[in-house]
Amino acid sequence: MRYRLGIDSGGSKTLGILEAVDDGQVQRWEARVGNTNHHSCPPNVAQHRVARLIAMLCRQAGIEPAALEGLCFAGAGIDSETDRQLVAGWLREMGCGGRLVVCSDGLAALAGANGALAGGMVLSGTGSIALGIDREGAVVRIGGWGFKLDDAGSGYGTAILGLRAAYEALDGRGSPTAIGPAILKALGLADMDALLDWLYVPERTPDHIARLAGCIIDLAPSDVVADGILDQTADDLTRLAMTLVRRMGLEQVSLGLCGGLLQNVKPLSDRVMERFAHEPQIGAHLPRYSAAEGALIMLEQSEENDLCATLGSI
């Protein structure tokens, strides 16, 4: 029996899939925990959640972590060798055996979207990024520089645009909008001063703010300002993707539309698809597999070639 584990670690939630293969028969177990991005939650909390996820999956399968033949941890916020070594250290401390591949969650989303580490993808979740593999086999990255610098087209970016519009409407700089009242209702707050207090407490995370994007999305059919923000989000994601395609230098690109916003908010994915309708070189589609399944695909590819050299280039 061969056991392999793929983990998609996100800023909102983390999904693990443990796969057992025996004589061509495949069995899978799944488990979920919360945010395990060590940049947006305390590292000790992230480490504890990862350990709990692995323990749950191994318990379901009736094995110890040492029995794993391989593990791919694809994480939000894993952008450097320091990040990779930190997470690899956690996994070894937890007793995980076999081959370890530690990389960005974007690469797992890319592999899941296209069924292989090939083509391109644009991701809109808590954050945003576009990734692809160019004609030389190198990783091309556009955006994904984090909420302090970037994340245009993400849940966080959409929520920030909505919050700005709400306060501009409050003081007369912007057009009237129902975004402010909708956010207050969602959070159970009395007024916009209370919302400021909520925003600026030290423990407020990008994930908390990104969840407010749902208020803007729900209002888009009836609120001109909210509708304009959804259009801006679609434009930002299209710009990410078009820049990626240009940099990849390929005549045809299979482009996965990944992440919670693009996969679960049809009005947004429809708008992005419409923008690609006049770009025949881009074959835009929803993901073929999840990012956690993409982590398993990457683990398989790492066994077939020197994938670690590719991962080290991001």
81 and 106 fall within a common domain:
yes
Q: What average pLDDT does the structure give for the chain?
A: 92
207 and 266 fall within a common domain:
yes
**Strand extents, DSSP E, 206-301:** 253-258, 282-285
Q: Is residue 305 part of a domain?
A: no
188 and 209 fall within a common domain:
yes
Tell me the C-alpha distance between 225 and 216, whole Å.
9
**Strand extents, DSSP E, 203-281:** 253-258
139 and 27 fall within a common domain:
no
| Cβ partners under 8 Å of residue 137, min gap 6 | 310
> Tell me, what's the pLDDT at 284?
95
70, 39 Cβ separation under 8 angstroms: no
Domain extent for 239: 128-285
Q: How many helices (H) and strands (E) does the chain have?
A: 13, 10
Q: Is residue 313 part of a domain?
A: no
79 and 194 fall within a common domain:
no
CATH code, domain carrying 259: 3.30.420.40
Q: Is residue 290 part of a domain?
A: no
Region label for 142, one of left (φ > 0), alpha (ψ between -120 and 50) or beta (otherwise): beta
Q: Is residue 212 part of a domain?
A: yes
Q: Is residue 151 part of a domain?
A: yes
Tell me the C-alpha distance between 214 and 196, whole Å.
19
Residue closest to 70 by CA, chosen among 271, 266, 296, 231: 296
Last residue of a domain, one of 80, 115, 150: 115
109 and 163 fall within a common domain:
no
**Position of tokens 């059919």?**
221
Q: Is residue 121 part of a domain?
A: no
46 and 134 fall within a common domain:
no
81 and 156 fall within a common domain:
no
Q: Is residue 26 part of a domain?
A: yes
142 and 23 fall within a common domain:
no
Last residue of a domain, one of 115, 136, 155: 115
**How many independent structural domains does the chain possess?**
2
40 and 151 fall within a common domain:
no
The amino acid that residue 100 corresponds to is L
pTM score of the predicted model: 0.83
* Average pLDDT of span 32-59: 93
175 and 223 fall within a common domain:
yes
Tell me the C-alpha distance between 278 and 100, whole Å.
41
Query: How sure is the predictor about 77, in pLDDT bands with cuts at 50, 70 and 90?
Result: confident
Query: How sure is the predictor about 309, in pLDDT bands with cuts at 50, 70 and 90?
Result: very low
> Tell me, what's the pLDDT at 304?
62
> Tell me, what's the pLDDT at 188?
98
Residue closest to 302 by CA, chosen among 101, 48, 53: 101
Residue closest to 219 by CA, chosen among 209, 206, 210, 229: 229
> Tell me, what's the pLDDT at 313?
35
Query: How sure is the predictor about 314, in pLDDT bands with cuts at 50, 70 and 90?
Result: very low
Last residue of a domain, one of 67, 85, 115: 115
Q: Is residue 196 part of a domain?
A: yes
Longest dimension (CA), the chain: 68
165 and 52 fall within a common domain:
no
Indicate if the pLDDT at residue 241 is higher than 50.
yes
> Tell me, what's the pLDDT at 302?
79
